[in-house]
Amino acid sequence: MQNSTFNLILRRLIGAIPSLFAVIVVTFMVMRLLPGDPAAFFAGAAASAEAVEQVRHQLGLNESLLTQFWIYLKDLAQGDMGKSFTTGQPVTHDLMERLPASLELTLLGLLIAIVIGLPLGMLAATRPNSWIDHLCRLLTTSGVCLPTFFTGLVLIYIFYYLLGWAPAPMGRLDLFSSPPQDVTGFYLIDSAITGEWAIFRSALAQLILPAITLALFALAPLARMTRAGMLGVLNSDFIRSAKAAGLPRRVILVRYALRNTLLPVINTMGMVLSYLLGINVLVEKVFAWPGIGSYALEALIASDYAPVQGFVLSIAVLYVLLNLVVDLVCSLIDPRVERAA
């Protein structure tokens, strides 16, 4: 068993390599299509023709596209994604510094969506046409229509301006707290480890609105899939047998029905993650969240392309890896997938 699990993981890892490579190629190509001459841009407005030529040589822009791609690959292998003008730091350094902020937000959003979405879908499926079914339908229909940036602003208006429950939407901590000791980079985990509960509370307070904004969007597909899957499973023969055998309702629902529903739901998770990672950029802008999305946006406005390229690449890689995890979880919870593969 141990061995087969290991084999499975290995096979999936190897299977992800083509996607990763494709992602690198596309990112490279898109950024090579850039309008204007990067050499002239790097050399500065006052540079002479020779200086521009020299910079072009330095950047390797005289080489063929293939050679340039090779150089790019080699740099990437060494973790070098170029330098940002605006911060003056290597892009890799900036991204690593800001990645935990984005991940903490995205994962908490996903967690909230799962914690609310799964039970909601289950309850809706077990009680068709009840008020909870209607609530579920309302949430799933409206969830995908709400522009995330707009939901975020509405939440800020209600919970910050009107009610005063939430802190000002200005980043990861309020003005009076300093970041906890850096262990994982996730403020919630770090402050919990070191036992600084005041910081934990402050970080949580800042996180909650943006995370709910993300969750509202992710909730819809999750609840919808759970409801549809559950409805299908509840009509199947083995549930009827379980009922006839007099098993308690809770056992039927959780042990029999939910487990069989989970597979399509986890498969949807890949799509949900794609949405979440994209939408993260919008939420980070609305809440002035210092993650990699807002970093890329600032760079984009300043025509600073190395960070944008680094951002697109790291998000895409992250997405491929998270999908890999989803795949693995899928085949671990359902042996049928493994056998089919």
The single residue among 320, 321, 328, 329 that binds other proteins, judged by CB under 8 A, is 320
Q: Select the span of 65-73, 126-134, 309-317, 330-338 touching other proteins (CB under 8 A).
A: 309-317
**Rounded to whole angstroms, what are the CA distances from 123 to 114, 173, 185, 232?**
14, 37, 37, 14
**Rounded to whole angstroms, what are the CA distances from 92 to 76, 84, 255?**
10, 10, 45
Other CB atoms within 10 A of residue 84 CB: 23
The single residue among 146, 208, 239, 247 that binds other proteins, judged by CB under 8 A, is 146
Candidates 126, 111, 152; CA nearest to 285 is 152
The single residue among 1, 46, 77, 145 that binds other proteins, judged by CB under 8 A, is 145
**Any contact of residue 132 with other proteins (CB under 8 A)?**
no
Q: Select the span of 21-29, 49-57, 93-101, 193-201 touching other proteins (CB under 8 A).
A: 21-29
| Residue 35 or 195 having the CB closest to other proteins | 35
For 57-74, b/e burial (b = at least 16 CB within 10 A) is eebeeeeeeeebbeebee
**Any contact of residue 135 with other proteins (CB under 8 A)?**
no
**Whether the Cβ atoms of residue 257 and residue 300 lie closer than 8 Å to each other:** no
At position 36, the amino acid (one-letter code) is G
Instruction: Tell me how far apart the alpha carbons of residues 277 and 274 are, in angstroms, rounded to a whole number.
Output: 5
Q: Tally helices (H) and strands (E) across the chain.
A: 15, 0
Q: Select the span of 54-62, 144-152, 204-212, 253-261 touching other proteins (CB under 8 A).
A: 144-152
The single residue among 161, 165, 197, 238 that binds other proteins, judged by CB under 8 A, is 161
Chain centroid to CA 319: 7
**Any contact of residue 154 with other proteins (CB under 8 A)?**
yes
Instruction: Tell me how far apart the alpha carbons of residues 173 and 273 are, in angstroms, rounded to a whole number.
Output: 25
The least distance separating other proteins from the CB of residue 51, rounded to whole angstroms, comes to 26
**Any contact of residue 136 with other proteins (CB under 8 A)?**
no
Instruction: Tell me how far apart the alpha carbons of residues 185 and 44 are, in angstroms, rounded to a whole number.
Output: 36
**Any contact of residue 111 with other proteins (CB under 8 A)?**
no
The single residue among 273, 306, 324, 326 that binds other proteins, judged by CB under 8 A, is 273
**Whether the Cβ atoms of residue 211 and residue 114 lie closer than 8 Å to each other:** no
**Whether the Cβ atoms of residue 306 and residue 84 lie closer than 8 Å to each other:** yes
Q: What are phi and psi of 130, to 5 degrees?
A: -85, 180
The least distance separating other proteins from the CB of residue 112, rounded to whole angstroms, comes to 19
Total site size for other proteins, rule CB under 8 A: 51
**Any contact of residue 305 with other proteins (CB under 8 A)?**
yes
Structure token pair of residue 113: 């969506």
The least distance separating other proteins from the CB of residue 183, rounded to whole angstroms, comes to 28
The single residue among 14, 45, 301, 340 that binds other proteins, judged by CB under 8 A, is 301
**Any contact of residue 22 with other proteins (CB under 8 A)?**
yes
Handedness of CA 42, 48, 51, 55 (dihedral sign): positive
Query: What residues numbered 48-107 form the site for other proteins, per CB under 8 A?
Result: none
**Any contact of residue 35 with other proteins (CB under 8 A)?**
yes
The least distance separating other proteins from the CB of residue 311, rounded to whole angstroms, comes to 8
* Residues forming the site for other proteins (CB under 8 A): 19, 22-23, 26-27, 30-31, 33-35, 141-142, 144-150, 153-154, 156-157, 160-161, 168-169, 224, 228, 273-275, 277-279, 281-282, 285-286, 296-297, 300-301, 305, 308, 311-312, 315-316, 319-320
